[in-house]
Structure 1
Amino acid sequence: MDLPDSMWAARYPTSGPDAGVIRVERVPRPDPGPGEVLVAVAVSGVNPTDWKARSNRTGTGSSWVTPNQDGAGRIVAVGRGVPAQRVGERVWVWQAAWNRAGGTAAEYVAVPADQAVALPSSASYDLGAGLGIPAMTAYHCLFHPGPLLPGDRVLVHGGAGAVGHAAIELARHRGAEVAATVSNAYKAKLAAAAGADLVIDYRTEDVAAAVRRWAPAGVARIVEVDLARNLTTDSAVVAPGGAIAVYARTEQPVLPPWDLMVANARVDFVLVYTIDEDAERAAVEGVTTAVRDGALTPLPGARFSLAEAAAAHDAVQAGHTGKVLIDVGTA
């Protein structure tokens, strides 16, 4: 396959809270190294950690960084040690820019072969680009503490966010029942569309009371986006032996040890970038199985062109509801 020597890529030379540091330029196309594949990117997904990494850039060994961890596209070349049969494979990409200078906001990205995962033919590139960090985080929050059984009840805070949306769908895929909290009517529609059995507007309703009515024995899992805000509620509704999985950092919480001890509840803090290889493998396999079974759907949101990469980062930083995607190429 003849490939161009250069490509369009969004990149930045220095950190900064202003997305204006991002430039879209013509740059040399990367080659896949040993154990790597080269992916022609169709769609790049933007997550909160992408703009946070730009704002608080740490060393990557390169003077320029191309952002965005997640994406979807097609493998167009492979490095030494990777089966040639993978060329042409549709894939979803995760953690492309973790400790690396090349993310998915580019026409081509070289990543380790296991970070380009076969995308079932029934799945769109939009869905694939929205998996990665959100879906793997949701999977780890739900299933790392132990099995989630059919009929178990789960509380997902922030049910209209990317992680919350994936958590609802993954839990439903395993036969669990899900309550989700949201902050307005539009977000309530998104959570309900994902399959939430109970949707609670935390701005107007007593969340703890609503969950206790729905799940008198408590909830087996809580997927938590704001522990400081929700800890009192979580302590009141977690089932004996249940787990609270915290995946976002907000204010410093004050833990009520007695309430959690009485419930023999666990509080797990989750950063998907640093989970071990077994947990990564389990998340990748679990997410891909859910995609193959048709259990995961794209979260509606906003789209931008590659030339608008800075605006896409601004949208996520401003708290845009739904998934933000960047159209990169045709793959």
Structure 2
Amino acid sequence: MRALLMVQCGQSPVVGPRDLAGRGTRVAVTAAPITPLDLLCASGTSYFGAPAVPYVPGVQGVGTLDDGTPVWFATDAGMRAGDGSMAEYADVDPSDIVALPAGAEPTLVAALGLSAVAAWQSLTSCGDLHHGEQVLVLGGGGIVGQAAIQIARLLGARRVVAACRSAAAQSRATSLGADAVVPLRDNDTVADLAARLRPALDGPLDLVLDPLFGIPAAAALQVLRPGGRLVNLGGSASPTAPFDSATLRSGSLRILGYTNTTLTKPERAETMRTIAGHAAAGRLTVSYQAVPLDEAPAAWTAQATGTAPARMVLSPSAR
């Protein structure tokens, strides 16, 4: 079969032949997203350690079983020995396979994937979002942020504010249902950003979803109501944030951390089914671009350098 192969950590992958191991359930891959976790694992610098090469990257994908059942699936590619989703076929542990509802568009479900799972769980089990609360989504133009804007609405938030960097991201957040959008700027200070956030809010801010950390997180803490919650699930702006003890104590604020790795497989499967159901019903979408396998190396580079216009999703079965 044809596959995308990582032959050396830290370099672009190549398209080449690969034998299917045949130790799990065979899935004919329809769509495989290039995600930040794929890029991190392939860099050889993740906390999982450098993966043995060559290997097929792809920690998740969408495809069909031999009987035609459409499924979403997860793999440990780049984290443990074995190949992933970026090939014409994947070997998958049966416990990592989730049947999809009728009408779920494969490429959209792949683009949503674990990013949408993280957004859902951050807002619900971790952030404890209640009906009628006001939510701030930092990084509202990213996949997690795009999903979070819509999910907060689905869960009954009365107002959703997004903070985004580019004009395209700001427009995207508005189109997905954000009531207000605040620009993020390269030269922001905590005080400057907090001053822009305050007039975008309508009453108390209850919950912040934060995949950025850094100055955006510190500014969000300045405008949270007493007892408000900030859920951090990433550090794409900075691995550290400049906030102080007085800010936390004076507002009795709660900072919570989230990662998908804490989910059990049944919890992940149930959340993925929920996400796919909303997508099939037209209630949940994100921006993505489908790419044939032959163009995967260029798509990989674009995703890694931040020049991709959207989440790049490979279509291994397309010729």
TM-score, L = length of structure 2: 0.86
Task: Report % sequence identity.
Answer: 27
| 2:54 corresponding residue in structure 1 | 64
Q: How does 1:297-312 map to 2 (within 5 A)?
A: 297-300=285-288, 302-312=289-299
CA distance in 1, matches of 2:176, 2:149: 6
Q: 1:59 to 1:207 in 2, by over 3 A?
A: closer
Q: CA deviation at 1:124?
A: 1.0
Aligned length in residues: 308
CA shift for structure 1 position 304: 2.5
Query: CA separation in 2, counterparts of 1:8 and 1:27?
Result: 6
Q: Who is 1:253 aligned against? A: 241
**Residues 115 and 291 (structure 1), Cα distance of their counterparts in 2 relative to 1, 3 Å cut:** farther
Residue 214 of structure 1: CA displacement? Answer: 4.0
CA distance in 2, matches of 1:31, 1:53: 23
Contact 1:93 1:129 in 2 (8 A): no
Find the counterpart in structure 2 of residue 201 from structure 1.
183
CA displacement, residues 214-252 of structure 1 (integer Å, 9 cap, x when unaligned)? 435432221112211213311112233322122223232
User: What CA distance in whole angstroms lies between the structure 2 residues aligned with 1:287 and 1:274?
Assistant: 18
SS at match of 1:326: strand
Match of 2:206 among 191, 216, 220: 220
Runs of 4+ in structure 1 deviating by more than 6 angstroms, as ranges, are: none
Specify the SS of the correspondent of 1:223.
strand
For 1:120, the equivalent position in structure 2 comes to: 101
**Structure 2: which amino acid aligns with 1:192?**
T
Residue matched to 2:225: 239
Aligned to 1:328: 316
Q: Deviations over 1:233-275 (max 9, x none)?
A: 1111223332212222323224422212233222222232344
Are residues 1:268 and 2:276 paired?
Answer: no
Per-residue deviation, 1:96: 5.0
Q: Is 1:8 equivalent to 2:2 in the alignment?
A: yes
Query: Partner amino acid for 2:185?
Result: R
Which residue in 1 is equivalent to 2:70?
Answer: 90
| 8 Å CA contact retained: 2:215, 2:242 | no
Which of 130, 144, 156 aligns to 1:175? It is 156
Q: Does 1:131 align with 2:117?
A: no
Deviation at 1:180, TM superposition (A): 0.7
- Say if 1:251 and 1:189 are closer, same or farther in 2 by CA, change over 3 A: same
Residue type matched to 2:167 in 1? A
63 and 318 in structure 1: CA distance in 2 versus 1, 3 angstrom threshold:
closer
Question: How far did 1:163 drift?
Answer: 0.9
Kindly state the Cα deviation for residue 127 of structure 1 after the two structures are TM-superposed.
0.8
Structure 1: which 5+ residue stretches go unaligned? 1-6, 77-86
| AA partner of residue 124 (structure 2) | F
Q: Structure 1: how far apart are the matches of 2:136 and 2:225?
A: 11
Q: Say whether the 8 Å CA contact 1:170–1:290 is kept in structure 2.
A: no
From the superposition, tell whether residues 209 and 282 of structure 1 become closer, same or farther in structure 2 (CA, over 3 Å).
farther
Distance of aligned partners of 1:311 and 1:73 in 2 relative to their CA distance in 1, 3 Å threshold: same
1:140 is aligned to 2:140 = no
Report the AA paired with residue 217 of structure 2.
L
CA shift, 1:25, in A, is 1.6
**Contact in 1 for aligned 2:41/2:50 (Cα 8 Å):** no
State the AA in 2 paired with 1:11. L
1:80 maps to what in 2?
none
State the AA in 2 paired with 1:222.
V
Most deviating of 230-239 and 283-292: 283-292
Sort the Cα spacing of 1:203 and 1:254 in 2 relative to 1 into closer, same or farther, 3 A.
closer
Cα distance in 2 for partners of 1:159, 1:267 equals 19
**2:175 alignment partner, SS class:** helix
- Unaligned runs of 5+ residues in structure 2 are none
Residues 122 and 281 (structure 1 numbering): CA distance in 2 closer, same or farther, change over 3 Å?
closer
TM-score by length of 1: 0.83
| Paired letter, 1:15 | C
Instruction: Tell me, yes or no, if the aligned pair for 2:218 and 2:241 is still in contact at 8 Å.
Output: no
Change (3 A) 1:51 1:39: same
| Secondary structure class of the residue paired with 1:131 | helix
Contact 1:60 1:101 in 2 (8 A): no
Query: Is the counterpart of residue 25 in structure 1 residue 21 in structure 2?
Result: no
Kept in 2, the 8 Å contact 1:139–1:286? The answer is no
